[in-house]
Structure 1
């Protein structure tokens, strides 16, 4: 595993030891970022099931300002911190050991995000409920992108609240579903 491009491009990342996490392959990660825009002009990123932290680190490498990474596995947290150290910019990252749903309650009213990664363990997916909760908690900026990584047999709705699916891709047994959050109230104020 590595950081593909951007400020930290080419640096190696560690995978979480054991079988509790499933790292996003470099091929899938590169494809995701080629679709959503290879580089960013700032913004905040939330990685709700961070694993090794590879997706958020890639987002920061490509121009996001800050990333919040959440995982409850102690081995994942240790790996995330080791991978963040590779960037030599730990101030751009906040890492929390917490349950995904509980962390959403804690973030409510404190931060808003422009990019969201949802890559839960395949057997424990509640992606639609989590997106609904994220929207209800007002955690997304208008036009935020939501990236969901799931098993190829899992079906997600085309629209979840104000999040509208704009792309689906299959990579072997992995499916990527991308949503854009459109807040009509913010749209009319612009």
Structure 2
């Protein structure tokens, strides 16, 4: 697993040990960032269900100013912290061990807003519609902001979501579904 493009292009990232996470492949990551970026002129990224932090780190490498990484598993938190330290991104990132609902409420309490929200949870374990509705209710997404959802390809996310437009919905190789929304 590596950073695909930007300031940290080609740098290796550690994966979370064990089988509890399913890293986004480099090929899918490249395709996704071509759709949502491919590069950014600043902004904030929220990487929920961050795993190794690969997606959020990719966003930072491509120009986002600041990233918040959230996962509830201790091994994932440790891996994210290692990857951030290796790339010397400590001053551009925060890492929190929390469940997604608690994390977005905490972000709202801090009056944080994001330009990109990345969601790649364990398949079949998250109600995307409920979580996205909650984020929109808490006003976490800046105007022109993007929400990226990675999901089981058999799961179909709605074409319409409160305050959002569907940008892209696609399956990759029969193993990964992606849905991208924008305000």
TM-score (norm 2): 0.96
Contact 1:48 1:119 in 2 (8 A): yes
Mapped pair 1:12 → 2:12: yes
CA contact (8 A) 1:109 1:139 kept: no
Q: 2:65 is matched with which residue? A: 65
Partner of 2:36: 36
Helix, strand or coil at the partner of 1:147: strand
Secondary structure at the aligned position of 2:18 is classed as coil
1:126 maps onto 2:108 in alignment: no
The 8 Å contact of residues 56 and 67 in structure 1, kept in 2 or not, is answered as yes
Does the residue aligned with 1:32 lie in a helix, a strand or coil? helix
Tell me, in whole angstroms, the C-alpha distance in 2 between the residues paired with 1:180 and 1:63. 18
Tell me, in whole angstroms, the C-alpha distance in 2 between the residues paired with 1:72 and 1:125.
13
Query: 5+ unaligned residues in a row in structure 2: which ranges?
Result: none
d(CA) in 2 for partners of 1:73 and 1:58?
21
2:138 aligned partner: 137
* Other structure's SS at 2:40 match: coil
Match of 1:80 in 2: 80
SS in 1 for 2:124: helix
Runs of 4+ off more than 3 Å: none
Structure 1 residue 145: deviation in Å? 0.6
| Whole-Å separation in 1 of the counterparts to 2:156 and 2:6 | 33
Deviation for aligned residue 1:89: 2.3
Aligned length: 181
TM-score normalised per structure 1? 0.93
